[in-house]
């Protein structure tokens, strides 16, 4: 289920960023879950981490893409968010072309 959640929201966010003409060179979504101690060991919470690398990526565009995925497009996220809490965090990196990308922004979408 966590892989489905990651794939669903990743497809939404990258598609929205492309439509917003953001120049993305690398993109990754990781889902970290907590599970109940007793069987069935259901998820009790999740953190979704979005890692966006590109050239002059607009932070507001990233936040809006995450918001649209969470509120409108990703059925996996919409369904699972009704069962357990999720934190949606992001990191944006500038791609220098050569060398390691440099973080330029990070934050959390709070569902406001």
Number of domains, the chain: 1
Domain that holds residue 95: 2-101
Residue 22 lies in a domain: yes
> Three-class SS of residue 53?
strand
The confidence score (pLDDT) of residue 63 equals 98
Does residue 111 fall inside a structural domain? Answer: no
Q: Output the pLDDT for position 112.
A: 59
Nearest to 4 by CA among 79, 101, 91, 67: 79
Give domain status of residue 47, yes or no: yes
- Residue 109 resides in a domain: no
pTM for the structure as a whole: 0.94
Mean pLDDT for back-to-back runs of 10 residues, the chain (112 residues): 96 98 98 96 97 98 98 96 96 94 97 69
Contacts of 35 (CB under 8 A, 6+ apart): 41, 42, 43, 44
Domain contains 106: no
Neighbours of 17 (CB within 10 A): 23
Specify if 81 maps to a domain.
Answer: yes
Locate 66 and state its tokens.
């995450």
d(CA 85, CA 54): 29
Could you tell me if residue 58 is inside a domain?
yes
**7 is a domain residue:** yes
CATH number at residue 74: 3.30.300.20
């Amino acid at each position: 289920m966590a892989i489905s959640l990651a794939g669903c929201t990743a497809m939404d966010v990258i598609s929205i960023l492309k439509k917003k003409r953001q120049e993305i060179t690398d993109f990754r979504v990781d889902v970290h879950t907590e599970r109940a101690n007793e069987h069935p060991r259901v998820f009790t919470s999740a953190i979704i981490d979005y890692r966006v690398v590109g050239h002059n990526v607009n932070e507001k565009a990233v936040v809006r893409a995450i918001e649209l995925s969470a509120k409108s497009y990703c059925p996996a996220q919409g369904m699972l968010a009704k069962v357990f809490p999720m934190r949606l965090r992001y990191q944006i990196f500038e791609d220098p072309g050569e060398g390691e990308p440099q973080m330029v922004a990070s934050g959390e979408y709070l569902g406001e």
